Structure 1
Amino acid sequence: MRAEGVTRPPAVRTAVVWDALLAELARLGETTGRERLDIVDAGGGTGGFAVPLAELGHTVTVVDPSPDSLAALERRAKEKGVGVRGLQGDLADLADLLDHGGADLVLCHSVLEYVDDPIGAMTAVAGLLRRGGAVSVLAANPVAAALHRALAGHFDEARAALADPEGRWGDRDPTPRRYTAEALSELLAVTGFAVGAVHGVRVFADLVPSRLVDGEPGAAEALVALEQAATGHPVLRDIATQLHVLARRG
Protein backbone atom coordinates (compact mmCIF):
# COMPACT_ATOMS: atom_id res chain seq x y z
CA MET A 1 0.00 0.00 0.00
CA ARG A 2 1.32 3.43 -0.93
CA ALA A 3 -0.14 5.54 1.84
CA GLU A 4 3.23 6.78 3.08
CA GLY A 5 3.72 10.42 2.25
CA VAL A 6 0.27 10.79 0.69
CA THR A 7 -2.02 13.29 2.38
CA ARG A 8 -5.43 14.77 1.69
CA PRO A 9 -5.31 17.18 -1.27
CA PRO A 10 -5.25 20.76 0.09
CA ALA A 11 -8.09 22.15 -2.06
CA VAL A 12 -10.37 24.23 0.14
CA ARG A 13 -13.52 23.15 -1.70
CA THR A 14 -13.01 19.43 -1.13
CA ALA A 15 -11.19 19.35 2.22
CA VAL A 16 -14.16 18.26 4.32
CA VAL A 17 -15.10 15.56 1.80
CA TRP A 18 -11.59 14.14 2.05
CA ASP A 19 -11.80 14.20 5.83
CA ALA A 20 -14.91 12.03 5.68
CA LEU A 21 -13.52 9.72 2.99
CA LEU A 22 -10.27 9.06 4.83
CA ALA A 23 -12.16 8.22 8.01
CA GLU A 24 -14.45 5.84 6.09
CA LEU A 25 -11.50 4.19 4.34
CA ALA A 26 -9.92 3.57 7.73
CA ARG A 27 -13.16 2.00 8.95
CA LEU A 28 -13.51 -0.18 5.88
CA GLY A 29 -9.89 -1.29 6.15
CA GLU A 30 -10.43 -2.31 9.75
CA THR A 31 -13.69 -4.16 9.16
CA THR A 32 -12.53 -5.97 6.01
CA GLY A 33 -8.98 -6.63 7.12
CA ARG A 34 -7.75 -5.40 3.74
CA GLU A 35 -5.51 -2.42 3.08
CA ARG A 36 -6.29 -2.36 -0.63
CA LEU A 37 -9.98 -1.58 -1.10
CA ASP A 38 -12.05 -1.76 -4.28
CA ILE A 39 -13.44 1.68 -5.12
CA VAL A 40 -15.74 2.80 -7.94
CA ASP A 41 -16.01 6.49 -8.81
CA ALA A 42 -19.27 6.88 -10.73
CA GLY A 43 -19.06 10.03 -12.84
CA GLY A 44 -15.48 10.50 -11.68
CA GLY A 45 -14.46 12.53 -14.71
CA THR A 46 -10.78 13.39 -14.91
CA GLY A 47 -9.87 11.71 -11.61
CA GLY A 48 -9.86 14.47 -9.02
CA PHE A 49 -10.77 11.90 -6.38
CA ALA A 50 -9.83 8.68 -8.17
CA VAL A 51 -6.14 9.39 -8.69
CA PRO A 52 -5.41 10.40 -5.06
CA LEU A 53 -7.30 7.30 -3.92
CA ALA A 54 -5.12 5.19 -6.20
CA GLU A 55 -2.06 6.93 -4.71
CA LEU A 56 -3.25 5.69 -1.33
CA GLY A 57 -2.94 2.16 -2.67
CA HIS A 58 -6.53 1.32 -3.52
CA THR A 59 -7.92 -0.28 -6.67
CA VAL A 60 -10.00 2.40 -8.38
CA THR A 61 -12.37 2.25 -11.35
CA VAL A 62 -13.90 5.38 -12.86
CA VAL A 63 -17.13 5.14 -14.83
CA ASP A 64 -17.84 8.28 -16.84
CA PRO A 65 -19.80 8.99 -20.05
CA SER A 66 -17.19 11.37 -21.48
CA PRO A 67 -14.31 9.87 -23.50
CA ASP A 68 -12.44 13.17 -23.19
CA SER A 69 -12.65 13.02 -19.40
CA LEU A 70 -11.46 9.43 -19.39
CA ALA A 71 -8.50 10.37 -21.59
CA ALA A 72 -7.61 13.17 -19.15
CA LEU A 73 -7.97 10.67 -16.30
CA GLU A 74 -5.49 8.34 -17.98
CA ARG A 75 -2.98 11.16 -18.42
CA ARG A 76 -3.35 12.31 -14.80
CA ALA A 77 -2.91 8.78 -13.46
CA LYS A 78 0.15 8.24 -15.63
CA GLU A 79 1.70 11.49 -14.38
CA LYS A 80 1.24 10.28 -10.80
CA GLY A 81 2.54 6.81 -11.57
CA VAL A 82 -0.64 4.94 -10.61
CA GLY A 83 -3.15 2.79 -12.42
CA VAL A 84 -6.84 3.73 -12.60
CA ARG A 85 -9.26 1.80 -14.78
CA GLY A 86 -11.59 3.96 -16.85
CA LEU A 87 -14.89 2.70 -18.28
CA GLN A 88 -17.23 4.69 -20.49
CA GLY A 89 -20.80 4.72 -19.19
CA ASP A 90 -23.11 6.34 -16.69
CA LEU A 91 -24.98 5.33 -13.55
CA ALA A 92 -27.58 3.43 -15.54
CA ASP A 93 -24.80 1.21 -16.98
CA LEU A 94 -23.17 0.19 -13.69
CA ALA A 95 -24.81 -3.23 -13.47
CA ASP A 96 -23.64 -4.07 -17.00
CA LEU A 97 -20.10 -2.76 -16.59
CA LEU A 98 -19.12 -4.02 -13.14
CA ASP A 99 -19.55 -7.13 -11.02
CA HIS A 100 -22.38 -7.28 -8.52
CA GLY A 101 -21.08 -6.92 -4.97
CA GLY A 102 -17.52 -6.19 -6.03
CA ALA A 103 -16.93 -2.77 -4.41
CA ASP A 104 -16.15 -1.59 -0.91
CA LEU A 105 -16.82 2.09 -1.64
CA VAL A 106 -18.66 3.91 -4.41
CA LEU A 107 -18.28 7.63 -5.00
CA CYS A 108 -21.32 9.37 -6.45
CA HIS A 109 -20.24 13.00 -6.53
CA SER A 110 -22.20 15.66 -8.43
CA VAL A 111 -24.05 13.15 -10.61
CA LEU A 112 -27.45 12.60 -8.96
CA GLU A 113 -28.44 16.08 -10.10
CA TYR A 114 -28.30 14.92 -13.71
CA VAL A 115 -29.57 11.32 -13.85
CA ASP A 116 -33.04 10.62 -15.22
CA ASP A 117 -33.88 8.04 -12.54
CA PRO A 118 -32.21 8.78 -9.17
CA ILE A 119 -33.87 5.82 -7.42
CA GLY A 120 -32.75 3.44 -10.15
CA ALA A 121 -29.27 4.92 -10.05
CA MET A 122 -28.84 4.47 -6.31
CA THR A 123 -30.32 0.97 -6.50
CA ALA A 124 -27.61 0.15 -9.06
CA VAL A 125 -24.98 1.60 -6.73
CA ALA A 126 -26.26 -0.55 -3.87
CA GLY A 127 -25.90 -3.60 -6.09
CA LEU A 128 -22.20 -2.89 -6.60
CA LEU A 129 -21.41 -2.81 -2.90
CA ARG A 130 -20.41 -5.63 -0.63
CA ARG A 131 -22.36 -5.91 2.60
CA GLY A 132 -21.11 -3.16 4.90
CA GLY A 133 -19.73 -1.17 1.97
CA ALA A 134 -20.35 2.55 1.70
CA VAL A 135 -21.44 5.17 -0.80
CA SER A 136 -20.19 8.75 -0.71
CA VAL A 137 -22.81 11.09 -2.16
CA LEU A 138 -22.21 14.75 -2.94
CA ALA A 139 -25.12 16.79 -4.29
CA ALA A 140 -26.06 20.41 -4.95
CA ASN A 141 -28.15 22.21 -2.33
CA PRO A 142 -31.16 24.35 -3.39
CA VAL A 143 -30.84 26.71 -0.41
CA ALA A 144 -27.33 27.62 -1.49
CA ALA A 145 -28.54 28.18 -5.06
CA ALA A 146 -31.07 30.69 -3.78
CA LEU A 147 -28.46 32.41 -1.62
CA HIS A 148 -25.98 32.70 -4.48
CA ARG A 149 -28.60 34.03 -6.92
CA ALA A 150 -29.64 36.64 -4.37
CA LEU A 151 -26.05 37.74 -3.78
CA ALA A 152 -25.70 38.15 -7.54
CA GLY A 153 -28.75 40.44 -7.55
CA HIS A 154 -31.12 37.92 -9.18
CA PHE A 155 -33.83 38.09 -6.53
CA ASP A 156 -36.65 36.58 -8.57
CA GLU A 157 -34.45 33.61 -9.44
CA ALA A 158 -33.51 33.18 -5.78
CA ARG A 159 -37.20 33.05 -4.85
CA ALA A 160 -37.85 30.58 -7.65
CA ALA A 161 -35.11 28.25 -6.38
CA LEU A 162 -36.73 28.18 -2.96
CA ALA A 163 -40.18 27.44 -4.36
CA ASP A 164 -39.31 24.92 -7.07
CA PRO A 165 -39.59 21.23 -6.03
CA GLU A 166 -36.35 20.49 -7.90
CA GLY A 167 -34.55 23.54 -6.51
CA ARG A 168 -34.13 25.15 -9.93
CA TRP A 169 -34.02 28.93 -10.34
CA GLY A 170 -35.30 29.08 -13.92
CA ASP A 171 -35.28 27.69 -17.43
CA ARG A 172 -31.64 28.70 -17.90
CA ASP A 173 -30.52 26.84 -14.79
CA PRO A 174 -27.96 24.22 -15.97
CA THR A 175 -28.65 21.95 -12.98
CA PRO A 176 -31.75 19.74 -13.45
CA ARG A 177 -32.33 19.17 -9.73
CA ARG A 178 -30.91 19.86 -6.29
CA TYR A 179 -31.37 18.07 -2.97
CA THR A 180 -32.16 19.21 0.53
CA ALA A 181 -30.65 17.16 3.35
CA GLU A 182 -34.03 15.54 3.93
CA ALA A 183 -34.54 14.63 0.25
CA LEU A 184 -31.03 13.20 -0.04
CA SER A 185 -31.46 11.10 3.10
CA GLU A 186 -34.84 9.82 1.92
CA LEU A 187 -33.44 8.82 -1.48
CA LEU A 188 -30.68 6.80 0.15
CA ALA A 189 -32.99 5.20 2.69
CA VAL A 190 -35.51 3.98 0.11
CA THR A 191 -32.71 2.41 -1.95
CA GLY A 192 -31.45 0.26 0.92
CA PHE A 193 -28.83 2.37 2.67
CA ALA A 194 -28.29 3.17 6.32
CA VAL A 195 -27.83 6.92 6.17
CA GLY A 196 -25.16 8.70 8.17
CA ALA A 197 -24.96 12.36 9.06
CA VAL A 198 -25.35 14.93 6.28
CA HIS A 199 -22.57 17.51 6.15
CA GLY A 200 -22.22 20.83 4.39
CA VAL A 201 -19.48 21.32 1.80
CA ARG A 202 -18.34 24.79 0.73
CA VAL A 203 -20.25 26.68 3.39
CA PHE A 204 -17.95 29.69 3.12
CA ALA A 205 -15.57 28.78 0.29
CA ASP A 206 -17.91 30.00 -2.46
CA LEU A 207 -18.80 33.19 -0.60
CA VAL A 208 -15.32 34.44 0.32
CA PRO A 209 -13.65 36.56 -2.42
CA SER A 210 -10.59 34.79 -3.80
CA ARG A 211 -8.46 37.91 -3.15
CA LEU A 212 -8.84 37.25 0.57
CA VAL A 213 -7.33 33.78 0.18
CA ASP A 214 -4.90 33.86 -2.74
CA GLY A 215 -1.45 35.01 -1.78
CA GLU A 216 -2.26 35.55 1.88
CA PRO A 217 0.00 33.35 4.04
CA GLY A 218 -2.06 30.85 6.00
CA ALA A 219 -5.40 32.04 4.60
CA ALA A 220 -6.23 28.84 2.74
CA GLU A 221 -5.44 26.72 5.78
CA ALA A 222 -7.56 28.99 7.98
CA LEU A 223 -10.47 28.73 5.53
CA VAL A 224 -10.18 24.94 5.54
CA ALA A 225 -10.31 24.98 9.34
CA LEU A 226 -13.42 27.17 9.17
CA GLU A 227 -15.06 24.79 6.69
CA GLN A 228 -14.26 21.87 8.98
CA ALA A 229 -15.87 23.68 11.90
CA ALA A 230 -18.97 24.57 9.87
CA THR A 231 -19.54 21.28 8.02
CA GLY A 232 -21.75 19.71 10.67
CA HIS A 233 -23.21 22.90 12.13
CA PRO A 234 -27.01 22.50 12.31
CA VAL A 235 -27.66 25.88 10.65
CA LEU A 236 -24.62 26.52 8.47
CA ARG A 237 -24.80 23.06 6.90
CA ASP A 238 -28.04 23.99 5.20
CA ILE A 239 -26.57 26.94 3.31
CA ALA A 240 -23.59 24.99 1.95
CA THR A 241 -23.18 24.81 -1.82
CA GLN A 242 -23.20 21.01 -1.62
CA LEU A 243 -24.37 18.39 0.84
CA HIS A 244 -22.30 15.28 1.54
CA VAL A 245 -23.40 12.04 3.13
CA LEU A 246 -21.79 8.66 3.69
CA ALA A 247 -24.31 5.83 3.71
CA ARG A 248 -23.70 2.11 4.22
CA ARG A 249 -25.25 -0.89 2.61
CA GLY A 250 -27.01 -3.07 5.16
Structure 2
Amino acid sequence: MSEPSPAAGGESPSSRRGPLRTGVVREVLDDALARRAKSTGADALDVLDTGGGTGNFAVPVASLGHRVTVVDPSPNALFALERRAAEAGVADRVHGVQGDINGLFDVVPRGGFDAVLCHGVLEYADDPADGLRKAVEALRPGGSLSLLASGLGGAVLGRALAGHFAEARQALIDPDGRWGQGDAVPRRFTAEQLAGLVREAGLEVVSVHGVRVFADLVPGGLVDTEPGALEALLKLEATAAALPAFQAVATQLHVLAEKQG
Protein backbone atom coordinates (compact mmCIF):
# COMPACT_ATOMS: atom_id res chain seq x y z
CA MET A 1 0.00 0.00 0.00
CA SER A 2 1.37 3.40 -0.92
CA GLU A 3 1.79 6.10 1.70
CA PRO A 4 -0.87 8.81 1.74
CA SER A 5 0.30 12.08 0.31
CA PRO A 6 -0.54 15.50 1.70
CA ALA A 7 -2.36 16.23 -1.54
CA ALA A 8 -4.63 13.26 -0.86
CA GLY A 9 -5.45 14.59 2.57
CA GLY A 10 -2.95 12.46 4.45
CA GLU A 11 0.55 12.98 5.77
CA SER A 12 3.44 10.74 4.79
CA PRO A 13 5.34 8.91 7.55
CA SER A 14 8.57 10.65 6.53
CA SER A 15 7.01 14.08 6.96
CA ARG A 16 5.46 13.06 10.29
CA ARG A 17 8.89 11.98 11.52
CA GLY A 18 10.44 15.31 10.50
CA PRO A 19 10.23 16.80 14.01
CA LEU A 20 12.29 13.88 15.33
CA ARG A 21 15.17 15.08 13.16
CA THR A 22 14.84 18.81 13.70
CA GLY A 23 12.50 19.50 16.62
CA VAL A 24 15.09 19.98 19.36
CA VAL A 25 17.32 22.13 17.14
CA ARG A 26 14.47 24.33 15.96
CA GLU A 27 13.29 24.97 19.50
CA VAL A 28 16.77 25.99 20.65
CA LEU A 29 17.30 28.11 17.53
CA ASP A 30 13.94 29.86 17.76
CA ASP A 31 14.65 30.81 21.38
CA ALA A 32 18.09 32.16 20.44
CA LEU A 33 16.65 34.26 17.62
CA ALA A 34 13.93 35.62 19.89
CA ARG A 35 16.53 36.65 22.48
CA ARG A 36 18.67 38.32 19.83
CA ALA A 37 15.70 40.20 18.39
CA LYS A 38 14.74 41.42 21.86
CA SER A 39 18.28 42.53 22.71
CA THR A 40 18.72 44.44 19.43
CA GLY A 41 15.18 45.73 19.13
CA ALA A 42 15.06 44.43 15.56
CA ASP A 43 11.91 42.93 14.09
CA ALA A 44 13.93 41.03 11.48
CA LEU A 45 17.38 39.52 11.90
CA ASP A 46 19.99 38.65 9.28
CA VAL A 47 20.64 34.92 9.34
CA LEU A 48 23.24 32.94 7.41
CA ASP A 49 22.65 29.24 6.71
CA THR A 50 25.89 27.62 5.52
CA GLY A 51 25.28 24.39 3.64
CA GLY A 52 21.58 25.10 3.99
CA GLY A 53 20.60 22.98 0.99
CA THR A 54 16.90 22.94 0.19
CA GLY A 55 15.88 25.07 3.17
CA ASN A 56 14.93 22.66 5.96
CA PHE A 57 15.89 25.36 8.44
CA ALA A 58 16.06 28.47 6.25
CA VAL A 59 12.39 28.46 5.28
CA PRO A 60 11.05 28.06 8.85
CA VAL A 61 13.42 30.80 10.05
CA ALA A 62 12.24 33.10 7.26
CA SER A 63 8.66 32.29 8.25
CA LEU A 64 9.45 33.92 11.59
CA GLY A 65 10.10 37.15 9.69
CA HIS A 66 13.89 37.01 9.43
CA ARG A 67 16.07 37.48 6.34
CA VAL A 68 18.01 34.31 5.48
CA THR A 69 20.98 33.88 3.17
CA VAL A 70 21.66 30.27 2.21
CA VAL A 71 25.12 29.31 0.96
CA ASP A 72 25.31 25.88 -0.66
CA PRO A 73 27.55 24.35 -3.33
CA SER A 74 24.71 22.54 -5.11
CA PRO A 75 22.75 24.46 -7.78
CA ASN A 76 20.04 21.79 -7.65
CA ALA A 77 19.60 22.31 -3.92
CA LEU A 78 19.41 26.07 -4.39
CA PHE A 79 16.77 25.63 -7.09
CA ALA A 80 14.73 23.47 -4.71
CA LEU A 81 15.25 26.09 -2.00
CA GLU A 82 13.85 28.81 -4.25
CA ARG A 83 10.78 26.71 -5.02
CA ARG A 84 10.26 25.78 -1.38
CA ALA A 85 10.54 29.39 -0.23
CA ALA A 86 8.02 30.47 -2.87
CA GLU A 87 5.56 27.78 -1.78
CA ALA A 88 5.91 28.94 1.83
CA GLY A 89 5.38 32.58 0.86
CA VAL A 90 8.81 33.72 2.05
CA ALA A 91 10.66 34.07 -1.26
CA ASP A 92 11.35 37.74 -0.54
CA ARG A 93 13.18 36.80 2.68
CA VAL A 94 15.30 33.87 1.42
CA HIS A 95 18.36 34.43 -0.79
CA GLY A 96 20.41 31.49 -2.07
CA VAL A 97 24.00 31.80 -3.31
CA GLN A 98 26.32 29.10 -4.59
CA GLY A 99 29.44 28.58 -2.48
CA ASP A 100 30.83 26.72 0.51
CA ILE A 101 32.43 27.33 3.88
CA ASN A 102 35.96 27.42 2.42
CA GLY A 103 35.17 30.40 0.21
CA LEU A 104 32.47 31.86 2.43
CA PHE A 105 33.60 35.48 2.17
CA ASP A 106 33.65 35.35 -1.58
CA VAL A 107 29.85 35.39 -1.41
CA VAL A 108 28.86 36.95 1.95
CA PRO A 109 30.27 39.77 4.10
CA ARG A 110 32.26 39.33 7.29
CA GLY A 111 30.40 40.36 10.42
CA GLY A 112 27.10 40.71 8.60
CA PHE A 113 24.82 38.31 10.48
CA ASP A 114 22.95 38.04 13.75
CA ALA A 115 22.99 34.25 13.58
CA VAL A 116 24.87 31.63 11.60
CA LEU A 117 23.60 28.10 11.05
CA CYS A 118 26.39 25.59 10.45
CA HIS A 119 24.46 22.35 10.07
CA GLY A 120 26.03 19.24 8.55
CA VAL A 121 29.08 21.19 7.38
CA LEU A 122 31.99 20.40 9.68
CA GLU A 123 31.81 16.67 8.89
CA TYR A 124 32.75 17.46 5.30
CA ALA A 125 35.08 20.42 5.78
CA ASP A 126 38.75 19.89 4.89
CA ASP A 127 39.65 21.72 8.11
CA PRO A 128 36.78 21.82 10.63
CA ALA A 129 38.50 24.36 12.87
CA ASP A 130 39.09 26.73 9.95
CA GLY A 131 35.52 26.29 8.73
CA LEU A 132 34.22 27.09 12.17
CA ARG A 133 36.40 30.19 12.39
CA LYS A 134 34.89 31.43 9.14
CA ALA A 135 31.39 30.90 10.50
CA VAL A 136 32.34 32.90 13.58
CA GLU A 137 33.80 35.71 11.45
CA ALA A 138 30.43 36.04 9.73
CA LEU A 139 28.75 36.85 13.06
CA ARG A 140 28.07 40.26 14.49
CA PRO A 141 29.05 40.83 18.14
CA GLY A 142 26.44 39.18 20.34
CA GLY A 143 25.32 36.93 17.51
CA SER A 144 24.56 33.21 17.84
CA LEU A 145 26.06 30.15 16.18
CA SER A 146 23.91 27.05 15.70
CA LEU A 147 26.25 24.11 15.09
CA LEU A 148 24.92 20.66 14.16
CA ALA A 149 27.24 17.75 13.39
CA SER A 150 27.33 13.96 13.30
CA GLY A 151 27.84 12.28 16.67
CA LEU A 152 30.36 9.49 17.16
CA GLY A 153 28.39 7.58 19.77
CA GLY A 154 25.27 7.28 17.64
CA ALA A 155 27.23 5.75 14.77
CA VAL A 156 28.97 3.25 17.05
CA LEU A 157 25.70 2.21 18.68
CA GLY A 158 23.93 1.96 15.33
CA ARG A 159 26.58 -0.32 13.82
CA ALA A 160 26.65 -2.50 16.92
CA LEU A 161 22.87 -2.93 17.05
CA ALA A 162 22.93 -3.86 13.36
CA GLY A 163 25.37 -6.66 14.17
CA HIS A 164 28.40 -4.95 12.62
CA PHE A 165 30.59 -5.23 15.69
CA ALA A 166 33.95 -4.86 13.93
CA GLU A 167 32.71 -1.68 12.24
CA ALA A 168 31.44 -0.33 15.57
CA ARG A 169 34.85 -0.89 17.10
CA GLN A 170 36.58 0.66 14.09
CA ALA A 171 34.50 3.83 14.49
CA LEU A 172 35.54 3.98 18.14
CA ILE A 173 39.26 3.78 17.43
CA ASP A 174 39.36 5.74 14.17
CA PRO A 175 40.56 9.36 14.65
CA ASP A 176 37.70 10.62 12.49
CA GLY A 177 35.06 8.24 13.85
CA ARG A 178 34.61 6.35 10.57
CA TRP A 179 33.54 2.70 10.60
CA GLY A 180 35.18 1.75 7.27
CA GLN A 181 35.83 2.58 3.64
CA GLY A 182 32.13 2.46 2.85
CA ASP A 183 31.29 5.09 5.45
CA ALA A 184 29.78 8.09 3.67
CA VAL A 185 30.49 10.48 6.56
CA PRO A 186 34.10 11.74 6.55
CA ARG A 187 34.20 12.75 10.20
CA ARG A 188 32.24 12.50 13.45
CA PHE A 189 32.52 14.26 16.78
CA THR A 190 31.91 13.86 20.47
CA ALA A 191 30.13 16.61 22.39
CA GLU A 192 33.41 17.50 24.07
CA GLN A 193 35.20 17.84 20.72
CA LEU A 194 32.52 20.11 19.27
CA ALA A 195 32.36 22.30 22.37
CA GLY A 196 36.16 22.53 22.35
CA LEU A 197 36.22 23.66 18.73
CA VAL A 198 33.60 26.30 19.51
CA ARG A 199 35.58 27.67 22.45
CA GLU A 200 38.80 27.67 20.46
CA ALA A 201 37.00 29.77 17.85
CA GLY A 202 36.30 32.37 20.53
CA LEU A 203 32.65 31.70 21.30
CA GLU A 204 30.87 31.00 24.57
CA VAL A 205 28.94 27.72 24.64
CA VAL A 206 25.34 28.32 25.67
CA SER A 207 23.96 24.78 25.39
CA VAL A 208 24.66 21.31 24.04
CA HIS A 209 21.93 18.90 22.94
CA GLY A 210 21.78 15.39 21.57
CA VAL A 211 19.63 15.02 18.45
CA ARG A 212 18.02 11.75 17.34
CA VAL A 213 19.02 9.90 20.49
CA PHE A 214 16.32 7.24 20.04
CA ALA A 215 14.69 8.10 16.73
CA ASP A 216 17.14 6.16 14.55
CA LEU A 217 16.91 3.09 16.78
CA VAL A 218 13.12 2.76 16.95
CA PRO A 219 11.43 0.73 14.16
CA GLY A 220 9.70 3.11 11.78
CA GLY A 221 6.61 0.93 11.59
CA LEU A 222 6.03 1.31 15.31
CA VAL A 223 6.18 5.10 15.16
CA ASP A 224 3.93 5.25 12.11
CA THR A 225 1.25 2.83 13.26
CA GLU A 226 1.12 2.80 17.08
CA PRO A 227 -1.32 5.46 18.35
CA GLY A 228 0.47 8.20 20.26
CA ALA A 229 3.92 6.70 19.65
CA LEU A 230 5.30 9.64 17.67
CA GLU A 231 4.21 12.21 20.25
CA ALA A 232 5.62 10.11 23.10
CA LEU A 233 8.92 9.65 21.25
CA LEU A 234 9.15 13.40 20.62
CA LYS A 235 8.74 14.05 24.35
CA LEU A 236 11.36 11.42 25.16
CA GLU A 237 13.82 12.96 22.70
CA ALA A 238 13.24 16.44 24.13
CA THR A 239 13.78 15.21 27.70
CA ALA A 240 16.96 13.26 26.89
CA ALA A 241 18.50 15.89 24.60
CA ALA A 242 20.16 17.97 27.31
CA LEU A 243 21.48 15.02 29.36
CA PRO A 244 25.19 14.25 28.74
CA ALA A 245 24.66 10.50 29.13
CA PHE A 246 22.30 10.50 26.15
CA GLN A 247 24.26 13.03 24.13
CA ALA A 248 27.03 10.43 24.13
CA VAL A 249 24.87 8.12 21.96
CA ALA A 250 23.05 10.69 19.82
CA THR A 251 23.17 10.47 16.03
CA GLN A 252 23.79 14.22 15.88
CA LEU A 253 25.01 16.84 18.31
CA HIS A 254 23.85 20.44 18.49
CA VAL A 255 25.84 23.26 20.08
CA LEU A 256 24.45 26.75 20.52
CA ALA A 257 27.10 29.40 21.15
CA GLU A 258 27.34 33.18 21.28
CA LYS A 259 29.93 35.71 20.15
CA GLN A 260 30.65 38.16 22.89
CA GLY A 261 29.98 41.81 22.14
- The Cα shift of 1:10 comes to 6.0
Q: Distance in 2 between matches of 1:249 and 1:185?
A: 14
Matched, 1:57 2:31: no
RMSD: 1.2
Q: Write out per-residue CA displacement over residues 63-107 of structure 1, whole angstroms, 9 at most, x where no aligned residue.
A: 000000000001111111112100000001211211121100100
Matched, 1:73 2:85: no
Query: What TM-score do the two structures reach when normalised by structure 1?
Result: 0.94
Match of 1:19 in 2: 27
Match of 1:240 in 2: 250
Partner of 1:125: 135
Match of 2:42 in 1: 34
Name the % identity. Answer: 57
1:201-237 residue CA offsets vs partner (Å, 9 max, x unmatched) = 0001111111111133322221111100000112111
* 1:159-188 deviation line (CA, Å, top 9, x unaligned): 000111111111111111101111101111
Equivalent residue runs for 1:1-250 within 5 Å: 11-83=19-91, 84-250=94-260
- Aligned-residue offset at 1:122: 1.1
Say which SS state the counterpart of residue 146 (structure 2) adopts.
Answer: strand
Residues 139 and 178, structure 1, Cα contact 8 Å, conserved in 2:
yes
> 1:112-145 CA distances to partner (integer Å, 9 max, x unpaired)?
0001011211111111110010110001111111
Structure 2 unpaired stretches of 5+: 1-16
The 2-side partners of 1:197 and 1:81 are apart by 32
Rounded to whole Å, the distance in 1 between the matches of 2:164 and 2:255 is: 30
Structure 1 unaligned runs (5+)? Answer: 1-8
Give how far 1:191 is off: 1.1
Partner AA of 1:239 in structure 2: V
**Any conservation in 1 of the 2:133–2:201 contact (CA below 8 Å)?**
yes
The answer on whether the counterparts of 1:137 and 1:246 sit within 8 Å (CA) in structure 2 is yes
SS in 2 for 1:100: coil
* Pairs aligned (count): 242
State the AA in 2 paired with 1:46: T
CA distance in 2, matches of 1:245, 1:193: 11
Equivalents in 2 of 1:66, 1:183: separation in Å? 28
Q: Deviations over 1:28-63 (max 9, x none)?
A: 111111120100100000001001111111000100
- Report the more deviating stretch, 188-197 or 203-212: 188-197
Separation of aligned partners in 2, 1:91 and 1:131: 20
Asked if structure 2 preserves the Cα contact closer than 8 Å seen for 1:108 and 1:137, the reply is yes
Q: Provide closer, same or farther for how the CA distance between residues 37 and 72 of structure 1 changes in structure 2, counting only shifts above 3 A.
A: same
Tell me, in whole angstroms, the C-alpha distance in 1 between the residues paired with 2:132 and 2:99: 15
Letter paired with 1:246: L
